[in-house]
Amino acid sequence: MGMNNIQYAALFQKMLDKIAAHECKTAYMEGNAGQVIYNGGNTVKIPKMSLNGLGNYDRDTGYVQGSVTFAYEDRTMTQDRGRMFQIDAMDVDETNFTLTANTIMSEFQRVNVNPEIDAYRISKLAQVAIAAGNVTYGYTPGSQTTLAQIKEAIKKIRENGFEGGLICHINYDALTDIELQAFGKISDVTFSQNGLDTRVKSIDDVVLIPMPKTRMYTAITVYDGTTSGQTAGGYVKASTRKDINFIVLDKNAPIAVSKQDKMRIFSPDENQTANAWKMDYRRYHDIWVKDNMAGSIYVNIKDTANP
């Protein structure tokens, strides 16, 4: 790859990273990945520790021996996603390639990549909450009752022993219902995400992050881009999905990893298949919650539970 093309790739990668940090609603979850060990491939190692509780102190024999168990659990990354785009050489020369490619890749990041990553992460967190029994079914936002629902979710998490900072991903129907009930009482706080500070609303010091409904499902199906009916790529609601009103979680609970986010650019001279600029985009990612953090997530679902 020519030097200019390497510079182009670095330029676009930096630009896409900024868009992801600012517009991906779940980007803050990647901040918890520092504790993860990754040595390549599709496996990451997540630390797990357990300790004995207190015992009685004896004035003759002293302390009761305790034990510490520390180990790494292997988790597998399942989301290996990518796309290739081409811009015909007759449509663009090297002078304005940067502007054209910037427009294409920025739109791709905003419209396709960020929503899919958000929807995938929210669905996985919802499944953890459901498996732990931290779920409310059959609630439709309205009549200014959503605030009470959120307070119940907060109470449940606190009763489970989690006292850390909480974040609430909430759809706009539920958020509007809260705003009508607590007009003038919702405070704005500064929320930092990957080094970017934004002003967001909060209730009882719980950060409220508004989410489009299309990113708030309990399950999604990702399209492979090649199978008939899936060539458009992206994701859709899974057939078994349910609509999420909101999900409250300890901000330290999710461990999101995005290890390969590779951008490659080939000039028309390097492209062996067409007289066109060729751009390859790849993102390798997944999300997990450690077993001892499952109780720190609570999901409120619009649909009723299955009989």
Does residue 157 or residue 105 have the better pLDDT?
157
162 phi and psi angles, rounded to 5 deg: -105, 115
State the Cα–Cα distance between residues 201 and 209, nearest whole angstrom.
Answer: 8
Q: Could you tell me the pTM of the whole model?
A: 0.85
Spatial separation of the C-alpha atoms in residues 152 and 299, rounded to whole Å? 11
The CATH number corresponding to 3-301 among 2.60.40, 3.30.70, 3.30.530, 3.90.1690 equals: 3.90.1690
Phi then psi dihedrals of residue 85, to 5 deg:
-125, 150
Provide the token pair at 26.
Answer: 């779940």
So what's the pLDDT on residue 94? Answer: 66
Is the CA virtual torsion 142, 144, 150, 156 positive or negative? negative
Helix, strand, coil tally for the chain in percent (to 5): 35, 35, 30
- Whose tokens are 């060729």? That residue is 278
Does residue 108 or residue 96 have the better pLDDT? 108
Nearest 5°: phi and psi at 81? -120, 150
pLDDT at position 260: 61
Handedness of CA 194, 170, 200, 159 (dihedral sign): negative
